Amino acid sequence: METLKLDAIADYENSINVASEILNGGGIVAVPTETVYGLAASAYNDDAIKSIFAAKGRPQDNPLIVHISNLDMLSDIACDIPDVAYQCARAFWPGPFTMVLPKGDKIAESVSGGLKTVAVRFPSDKTICDIIEKSGLPLAAPSANTSGKPSPTTAAHVIDDLDGKINAVVIGGDCMVGVESTVVSLVGEKPRLLRPGAVTPEQLRAILPELIVDDAVLEKLKDGVAAASPGMKYKHYAPNTTAFLVEGCSNSFVSFVNSKENAAAICFEEEYYNVNVPKMSYGSKRDESTLAQNVFSCLRDIDSLNVKEVYIHAPSKDGVGLAVYNRLIRACGFEVIKL
């Protein structure tokens, strides 16, 4: 199929209108959000949702997040909503925060991949919210990449992966946050962090003091253990180049990578000029938000360096750093080198 390119920077109104019409007709459209670009379809249309899984090559049991553009829509998506969900909504919405709640009846079966729960988010990005409003539809939207590849933070990333496989792409600016939303499950005995994002554990604990961080956030799932978040069990974000996450101070990282042959480095700005192999900086080690913005672009670009191995300097696990670390440890297949 031909993928329509809708330039939302040059002609915003038309892009919103055309995207909404396509979605109402059961099509699938990539749209910018503040986290990463999403591949959207009506959360009420099972066939449209199945086309998302097909275009991405996404495993059927990896459920999608449903996006809404106002709090009133929440009761169309979820049921038996606890008070604490409304407290979280007041604190973190609109924004990069997703809650897992009991699923409402109207949501298409395939959205949740067979689970009785549904993930829901009210994004802050104007473009996706205007498309939800205009179409009158809650939009199920996973990241708009080929499954397993780094998530897309620019329209060019989406086009690289999905041109010809989706009905349209709304071309907006680059994503501000750069990593996918924080996912918290509110269906178990205690609230559980399933995926870290720009809303940090410290911020969450102000509303959810009993928050548990799921083991899958930082560790490889053991064989036979069921994933609380199915997405966490798959290899993800990996470049074709073999990648290793390296923990240690700047001096040891620099000497380590400089001793390697046929290798490249993804490093911090502070050490960039001391690294003598092909390299990319993903920002200052003191600025986790910038690291988050750049991490997926660097992972996508690494293969163009044509080296055998890439060594990535691990960020701190503080604040948004936890989300960056979580993505990188998956990109590296949990191969961590401690210097």
Choose which of 48, 166, 183, 332 interacts with ligand AMP (CB under 6 A): 183
User: How far apart, in whole angstroms, are the C-alpha atoms of residue 330 and residue 335?
Assistant: 9
Q: Does 98 bind Mg ion (CB under 5 A)?
A: no
Q: Does 175 bind ligand AMP (CB under 6 A)?
A: no
User: How far apart, in whole angstroms, are the C-alpha atoms of residue 193 and residue 201?
Assistant: 8
- Candidates 47-55, 84-92, 103-111, 138-146; binding stretch for Mg ion (CB under 5 A): 138-146
User: How far apart, in whole angstroms, are the C-alpha atoms of residue 168 and residue 162?
Assistant: 10
- Candidates 87-95, 115-123, 281-289, 313-321; binding stretch for ligand AMP (CB under 6 A): 115-123
Q: Does 65 bind ligand AMP (CB under 6 A)?
A: yes
Q: Which of the choices Mg ion, ligand AMP, none does residue 183 contact, using the CB cut-off of 5 to 8 A by kind?
A: ligand AMP
Q: Which residue is nearest to Mg ion (CB)?
A: 143
Q: Which of the choices ligand AMP, Mg ion, none does residue 119 contact, using the CB cut-off of 5 to 8 A by kind?
A: ligand AMP
Q: Does 33 bind Mg ion (CB under 5 A)?
A: no
Question: What are the beta bridge partners of residue 5?
Answer: 169
CB distance 321 to 254 below 8 Å: no
Q: Does 143 bind Mg ion (CB under 5 A)?
A: yes
Q: Least CB distance from residue 249 to ligand AMP, whole Å?
A: 32
- Quote the DSSP letter at residue 226: P
- Closest CB to ligand AMP among residues 38, 321: 38
H/E element, 157:
helix 155-162
Distance from first CA to last CA of the chain, Å, rounded? 49
- Quote the DSSP letter at residue 72: G
- Candidates 124-132, 140-148, 222-230, 246-254; binding stretch for Mg ion (CB under 5 A): 140-148
Choose which of 117, 241, 242, 250 interacts with ligand AMP (CB under 6 A): 117
Residues 203-262 contacting ligand AMP, CB under 6 A:
229-232
User: How far apart, in whole angstroms, are the C-alpha atoms of residue 266 and residue 275?
Assistant: 10
Q: What number of helices (H) and strands (E) belong to the chain?
A: 10, 16
Q: Least CB distance from residue 232 to ligand AMP, whole Å?
A: 6
User: How far apart, in whole angstroms, are the C-alpha atoms of residue 150 and residue 299?
Assistant: 7
DSSP 304-337: GG--SEEEEEPPPSSTTHHHHHHHHHHHTTT-EE
Question: What residues make contact with ligand AMP under the rule CB under 6 A?
Answer: 62-65, 100, 112, 115, 117-119, 142-143, 180, 183, 185, 194-195, 229-232
Question: What residues make contact with Mg ion under the rule CB under 5 A?
Answer: 143
